[in-house]
């Protein structure tokens, strides 16, 4: 195992010789007569610790210390000042400027050796702690990524199960996800509080949007897959799916009710058929009282329905879809989201 490397900077030859004699049995020692040569050496090499004389011609010890602390490559090297001065103000200055310790001259070999060992041990312990923190941080990052992937896969599979019972196109889940992604990517253009949406919240909305129709699990397939027009009673049954979905989530959330992802999912499931003017269902919410996540999903859901082929209708063109969306701004849709849509309409159209 290599011995620790010590730099000793002192303009007095006698002092340098004493330091070398005290340390050479334990450490690799490199001697320097001035601060300038020590800094030049450090521009090309590293050291484990620096012994630095306070009073020197040319650069003083204090000036050398400031130069070391200004260089991110060497700023963490511990510096022990060697000084014959006993001025408490100077001692305080040395410590405030970043010195690890100071020793008064003349000093005994045991004192110098123990002070050096103490600083080297502190550095070793700090590096070990930093390594443990880095390893734990990386482990947490990997766990978080795995959790996110599991969460996304679970949401996708549940959405596919719902979709197979409905008459939606096979691409509906993917379209909802990508349409929502386009909106959330540009949500900073929204004129109100949505600007405060964090990247984590935006990702939750994108992942949860695919679960918007999970309540349809509780609706008869005969009604969901009916090729013709629904009766009044059948439509009223369909309209219960947001409440059914929210109840389903409530039954299984347990202690996850306060989890941001599940709260986002519940808001989307329950409120994605609300309309900006209050004419939607199930609670006839209006404007900003509708959670942003539900407003975004409602927009994506309707746009996909307009652009997609269904058993009971043909798809609308890009131009027709844009006109329909604009006509419903402030009625069905949040005007702020419609503005984002119009600025990035080509990104929405590119999905079809």
Residues taking part in catalysis: 216
Q: Give CA angle at 116 (112, 119), nearest 5°.
A: 145
Is residue 192 exposed (0-12), middle (13-18) or buried (19+ Cβ within 10 Å)? exposed
Side-chain-side CA neighbours of residue 351 (13 Å): 23
Q: How far is residue 57's CA from residue 45's CA, in Å, rounded to a whole number?
A: 24
Q: How far is residue 317's CA from residue 302's CA, in Å, rounded to a whole number?
A: 14
Q: How far is residue 296's CA from residue 322's CA, in Å, rounded to a whole number?
A: 16
Q: How far is residue 51's CA from residue 61's CA, in Å, rounded to a whole number?
A: 10
């Amino acid at each position: 195992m290599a011995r620790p490397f010590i730099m000793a900077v002192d303009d007095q030859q006698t002092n340098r010789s004493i330091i070398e004699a005290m340390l050479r049995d334990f450490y690799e020692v490199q001697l320097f007569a001035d601060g300038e040569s020590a800094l030049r050496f450090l521009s090309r090499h590293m050291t484990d610790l620096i012994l630095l004389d306070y009073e020197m011609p040319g650069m003083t010890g204090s000036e050398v210390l400031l130069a070391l602390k200004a260089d991110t490559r060497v700023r963490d090297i511990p510096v022990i000042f060697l000084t014959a001065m006993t001025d408490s103000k100077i001692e305080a200055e040395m410590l405030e400027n970043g010195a690890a310790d100071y020793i008064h001259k003349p000093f005994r070999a045991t004192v110098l050796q123990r002070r050096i060992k103490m600083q080297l041990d502190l550095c070793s312990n700090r590096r070990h702690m930093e390594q443990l923190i880095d390893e734990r941080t990386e482990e947490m990052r990997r766990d978080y990524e795995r959790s996110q992937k599991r969460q996304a896969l679970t949401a996708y599979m549940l959405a596919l199960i719902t979709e197979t019972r409905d008459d939606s196109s096979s691409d509906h889940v993917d379209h909802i996800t990508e349409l929502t992604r386009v909106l959330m990517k540009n949500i900073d253009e929204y004129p109100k509080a949505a600007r405060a949406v964090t990247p984590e919240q935006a990702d939750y909305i994108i992942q949860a949007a695919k679960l918007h129709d999970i309540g349809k699990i509780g609706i008869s397939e005969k009604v969901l897959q009916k090729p013709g027009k629904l009766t009044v009673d059948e439509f009223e049954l369909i309209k219960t799916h947001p409440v059914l979905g929210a109840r389903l989530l409530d039954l299984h959330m347990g202690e996850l009710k306060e989890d941001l992802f599940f709260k986002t999912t519940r808001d989307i499931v329950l409120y994605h058929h609300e309309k900006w003017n209050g004419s939607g269902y199930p609670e006839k919410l209006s404007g900003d009282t509708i959670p942003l996540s539900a407003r975004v999903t409602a927009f994506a859901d309707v746009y996909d329905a307009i652009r997609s082929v269904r058993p009971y209708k043909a798809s609308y063109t890009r131009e027709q879809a844009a006109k329909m969306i604009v006509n419903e701004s402030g009625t069905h849709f949040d005007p702020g989201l419609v503005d984002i849509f119009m600025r990035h309409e080509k990104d929405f159209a590119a999905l079809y």
